[in-house]
Amino acid sequence: MSWEEEVREIHRRRHLAKQQGGKEGIAKQHAQGRLTIRERIDALLDPGTFEEQGKATAIPDYDEDDEFLGFVPANYVVGFGKIEGRRVVAGGEDFTLKGGSPNAAGLRKSVYAEHLAVRYKTPLVRMLEGGGGSVKGGGRRGGTVGEPVFSAPRFRIIADAMARVPIVSIACGAVAGFPAGRLVASHFSVMARSTAQVMIGGPALVERALGVSMTKDELGGAAVHARSGVVDNLAEDEHDAFVQARRFLSYLPSSVDQRAPRTPGDDDPERMEEELLGAVPRNTRKGFDMRAIVRMVMDVDSFFEMGATYGRSQITALARLDGQPVGVLANDCRVYAGAMTAEAAQKYRRFVEMCDTFHLPIVNFVDQPGFMIGPEAERKGTIRYGMAAVCAAVQAKVPWASIQVHKGFGVATAAHYGADAYVLSWPSVESGALPVEGGVAVAFRREIAAADDPQAKRRELEEQLRAGRSPFPRAESFAVHELIDPRETRPALCSWIDWIQPLLDDLTGPTSFPIRP
Amino acid sequence: MARVEIESEVTGKVWKVEVGVGDQVAEGDILVILESMKMEIPVESPRAGTVAELRVAPDEPVQEDQVVAVITT
């Protein structure tokens, strides 16, 4: 007697779990333009690399007379797989079953995703679609209610995982409630523009609570979250979102215990772009394209921007320098002169903390006119978020290089220098406590008012002060490491990348603070 | 014929209006130059078309997301 019968049953159960919500459920998902979770996993991962965990998880289903109907697969699918040959954990709700709202076995597996990633030190990719808990199903006769009083907080692992492994969240369809919370508890989140919405509570809840009737898209569509900062990036569709997830992970180590993967440099470290010489206009009122400058300096095609539509005066991106992944910070002077708004400051702090968590060196292209000012900025509490950004920078442990490109004024400028920063300065830089224009009006108020021609006096004082703002004395005084020809920026930074290699070896392991959403 | 509303990306004030109603514009042409945080902020046409409306004049304040011009394509 062998165990053949049981083995047959094992295979039957595995087969059953793959049926998802059945032909009908799958057809409905496809009709709405969305992939099933198993299709998502296949599209995300290198072909044929998925190793599912809990292949036979299911819950028995009974009818109203407690007659056994059969097994319903767990509606969360999770397992290992590979992205560019590196192991990751991938998981997501099966929306073809009960609208993605977790059934008992599905809930266990969904919570396991974080445990698995932390235990095996691999990145986690969540493909989210679903509405979280449901009032149905709870409180049936008999049995216990709620979690035991001594149980560990259910969300503890979600918080802990953020300090250990890279986490990517993808909103594939409508994401609400707990799944929305999981979406933002990540280092990179992206939503598929055509199929996804993200909401704390959906239209029915909103109508009941507030008497407002809105569609899912009006509440939490791509247009809303491009500006809310809830997701970092928008993707055209699910496939584009998977491409972005794979790209993001290519810059990161598999866990905080490893170094980010340095690829063989395929771009000349000595490359000098002629266009950099005139990239910053001499007229300080004229804007310029900071992204173009960053692209010219970084390895060709390595610039990957995150959060471009939120806190737009600040650019945050990943890139490579001589193959070394780096975090890039840069100001966009075309939006509020690059000033640090409340949103830009929050984006900045989160990005610096992410780089610190995964030990990515930071390269900062500085054009900072200061914290945003004005009534709107005061109402938004900009100074609090701004100071949080400053604190994140000055306590960061990662190697930090700053290129003074244009302006550097006020307290906000302190956010652009980590400890022991390597500081390069372009001839176009202008810095100080306050910009000359506003600063003169404040500091010389009486002198200006007493002059025969106050406007002329103000201009004269501004000119005098501006002449004193030349970057040469700062270089002579060793207040910056080097005053450079802008064309030398890439070679200088690539040398620095070489110098910091031993420092990066020392940084692996968890940081002293846990990064939070 | 599609109408495209062009919004300001920033709060500030109008410094110069560079086109007139009825003008033909190409993609990337500057329609209006705003001044915000002491910088000149050009508002460019996202597409080629004809200027149908100009909703701002020099020295007027502008709010973020306010429509400054409409073009037809």
- Residue A222 C-alpha, separation from nearest chain B C-alpha, in angstroms: 16
Tokens of A247: 């790209």
Cβ contacts of residue A136 below 8 Å, gap of 6+? none
Nearest residue of chain B to residue A340 (CA atoms): B37
Judge whether B34 and B62 are in contact, CB under 8 Å. yes
Find chain B residues with C-beta within 8 A of A336's C-beta: 10, 36-37
Tokens of A7: 């083995």
Per-residue model confidence as pLDDT tens digits over B9-63:
889 999 999 999 999 999 999 999 999 998 999 999 999 999 999 999 999 999 9
Find chain B residues with C-beta within 8 A of A435's C-beta: 38
- At A293 the pLDDT is 98
Nearest residue of chain B to residue A227 (CA atoms): B65
Domain A274-429+471-507: which CATH number of 3.30.420.40, 2.40.480.10, 3.90.226.10, 3.40.190.290: 3.90.226.10
Find chain B residues with C-beta within 8 A of A312's C-beta: 9
Tokens of A283: 């007229």
Tell me if residue A8 falls in helix, strand or coil.
helix
Query: Is there a contact between B39 and A286 if contact means CB atoms under 8 Å apart?
Result: yes
Query: Is there a contact between B11 and A376 if contact means CB atoms under 8 Å apart?
Result: yes
Nearest neighbour of B41 by CB, restricted to A334, A372, A376 = A334
Q: What residue type is A309 in one-letter code?
A: T
* Cα–Cα distance for residue pair A357/B20, rounded to 1 Å: 53
Domain ranges in chain B are 3-72
Judge whether A483 and A472 are in contact, CB under 8 Å. yes
Q: What is the ipTM of this complex?
A: 0.86
Find chain B residues with C-beta within 8 A of A286's C-beta: 39-40
* Cα–Cα distance for residue pair A230/A307, rounded to 1 Å: 10
- At A284 the pLDDT is 85
Per residue of chain A (517 residues), give pLDDT as tens: 799 999 998 888 888 888 888 899 999 999 999 999 999 999 999 999 999 999 888 888 888 888 877 788 888 999 999 999 999 999 999 999 876 677 888 888 988 999 999 999 999 999 999 887 666 654 455 677 888 888 888 889 999 999 999 999 999 999 999 899 999 999 999 999 999 999 999 999 999 999 999 999 999 999 999 999 999 999 999 999 999 999 999 999 999 999 999 999 789 999 999 999 999 999 888 999 999 999 999 999 999 999 999 999 999 999 999 999 999 999 999 999 999 999 999 999 999 999 999 999 999 999 999 999 999 999 999 999 999 999 999 999 999 999 999 999 888 999 999 989 999 999 999 877 777 777 787 888 888 888 889 888 888 888 877 776 778 888 888 989 999 999 999 999 999 999 999 999 999 999 999 999 9
Length of chain A: 517
Identify the helix (H) or strand (E) that includes residue A473: helix A472-476
**Nearest CA among A137, A180, A134, A131 for reference residue A158:** A180
DSSP per residue over A125-139, as a string?
A: EEEEEE----STTTT
- In three-state form (DSSP H/G/I as H, E/B as E, the rest C), the secondary structure along A271-329 is CCCHHHHHCCCCCCCECCCHHHHHHHHCCCCCCEEECCCCCCCEEEEEEEECCEEEEEE
Provide the strand spans (E) within A74-212.
76-83, 86-93, 124-130, 167-176, 188-192, 197-199
Interaxial angle between packed helices A489-499 and A290-297, expressed in degrees from 0 to 180 and rounded to the nearest 10: 60
* Cα–Cα distance for residue pair A47/A81, rounded to 1 Å: 9
Query: Is there a contact between B11 and A374 if contact means CB atoms under 8 Å apart?
Result: yes
Radius of gyration of chain A (CA): 27
Asked if B44 has any chain A CB less than 8 Å from its own CB, the reply is no
C-alpha angle A276-A277-A281 in degrees, rounded to nearest 5 = 95
C-alpha angle B39-B43-B48 in degrees, rounded to nearest 5 = 155
Which architecture does CATH list for B3-72?
A: Beta Barrel (2.40)
Tokens of A89: 């954990």
Regarding the domain with residue range A4-135+149-250, which homologous superfamily does it belong to in the CATH classification? 2-enoyl-CoA Hydratase; Chain A, domain 1 (3.90.226.10)
Length of chain B: 73
- At A172 the pLDDT is 97
- At A220 the pLDDT is 97
* Cα–Cα distance for residue pair A483/A422, rounded to 1 Å: 12
Place of tokens 């396991």: A112
Radius of gyration of chain B (CA): 11
Tell me if residue A459 falls in helix, strand or coil.
helix
> What region does B58 belong to: left with phi over 0, alpha with psi -120 to 50, or beta?
beta
Asked if B66 has any chain A CB less than 8 Å from its own CB, the reply is no
Tokens of A403: 């290129």
Asked if B50 has any chain A CB less than 8 Å from its own CB, the reply is no
* Phi, psi angles (nearest 5°) of residue A78: -145, 155
Nearest neighbour of A437 by CB, restricted to B36, B38, B41 = B38
Nearest residue of chain A to residue B13 (CA atoms): A336
Cβ contacts of residue A99 below 8 Å, gap of 6+? A130, A131
User: pTM here?
Assistant: 0.92
Nearest residue of chain A to residue B33 (CA atoms): A286
* Cα–Cα distance for residue pair A237/A276, rounded to 1 Å: 36
> What region does A195 belong to: left with phi over 0, alpha with psi -120 to 50, or beta?
alpha
* Phi, psi angles (nearest 5°) of residue A291: -60, -35
Domain ranges in chain A are 4-135+149-250, 274-429+471-507, 433-469
Cα atoms in the 13 Å half-sphere on the side-chain side of A477:
6
Mutate to test the interface with A, among B36, B39, B43 (most CBs of A within 10 A): B39
Identify the helix (H) or strand (E) that includes residue B54: strand B49-54
Give contacts of A 365-394 with B, CB under 8 A: 369, 372, 374, 376
* Cα–Cα distance for residue pair A284/B35, rounded to 1 Å: 13
Find chain B residues with C-beta within 8 A of A369's C-beta: 37-38
